[in-house]
Amino acid sequence: MDTQKNSSSEQATEKQTQKRKGVSDYIEILAGWIVDIISIPVSFVSYILAQFVTPGSGGTKIIGALGFFIGSLLSTDGIWQTMFAGTPLFPWFEQNWIGWIGWLTLPFNPLFWLSFGISALVQVMQARTLRGKRPEEAKTEFEYSKQFTLGSKPSGSIDLTQALWRDYKVAGMKERHTGGAVALFFWIFDLTTTFVGRNPFAFTNPSTILACLIYNLGSMMAGEIGYTIWKLTK
């Protein structure tokens, strides 16, 4: 009898233990589900932020493209005013502007798109001067150029021989100098159209002059920075 009672007691205790264990498992599973549900928006936001800070991701490409577009649009304002005598596109640091109604009609004006195209070209050319060459590209060109050796200047030769020797000596330099001159032209062009279209020294308030200067420089650099970011993500 005692043995049967002990056996029944052990079985009852085991059932209670299993029941408590089953309840604990369910509570643990439910708690895990709740945590997972709560973490969904946090994980989603974290994933989105990671896309915008990870090099080569789609988010950085979007940032670069937006930076290039906005910078080109800001630079378009100066070209639009200086080259085509257009009404200012933006209200800041201006006495008048085209207004919201003007923005609705602007896409149908071919001169606006011409201004935007010129601005985009300027941003690309300026970004190239800021970005420079990649190390692997420079190394390839350097290794390629080392195969060309130059002998001493010929003496006692005809003028054509000496002229060809000079051509060989400076081969490739004309393109480098021309590229530098083109880059300088685009920088001067952008500087001129930006400050002629929006002259900070037309104001008398020092803080307004400083703010306009910062805005002009920022509008010049925004497109180049955006284009550089976009190129780095390709």
- pLDDT, tens digit, 9 for 90 and up, residues 88-116: 998 888 888 898 888 999 889 999 999 99
Asked if the model's pLDDT at residue 211 lies above 80, the reply is yes
- Could you tell me if 30 and 62 lie in one domain? no
| Model pLDDT for residues 32-75, shown as the tens digit of each residue | 777 767 767 766 666 666 666 666 666 777 777 777 788 888 88
Stated pTM of the model: 0.63
Q: Are residues 92 and 30 in the same domain?
A: no
The predicted structure's pLDDT at residue 5: 46
At 220 the pLDDT is 80
Cβ contact 71:218 at 8 Å: no
Same domain, 85 and 197: yes
227 within 8 A of 70, measured Cβ to Cβ: no
Distance, CA of 160 to CA of 208 (rounded, Å): 62
Task: Tell me what the mean pLDDT of segment 163-192 comes to.
Answer: 79
* Total domains in the fold of the chain: 2
Q: What's the burial of 167, exposed, middle or buried (CB within 10 Å: 0-12/13-18/19+)?
A: exposed
> Same structural domain for residues 107 and 191?
yes
Domain encompassing residue 100: 55-232
What is the structure's pLDDT at 55? 63
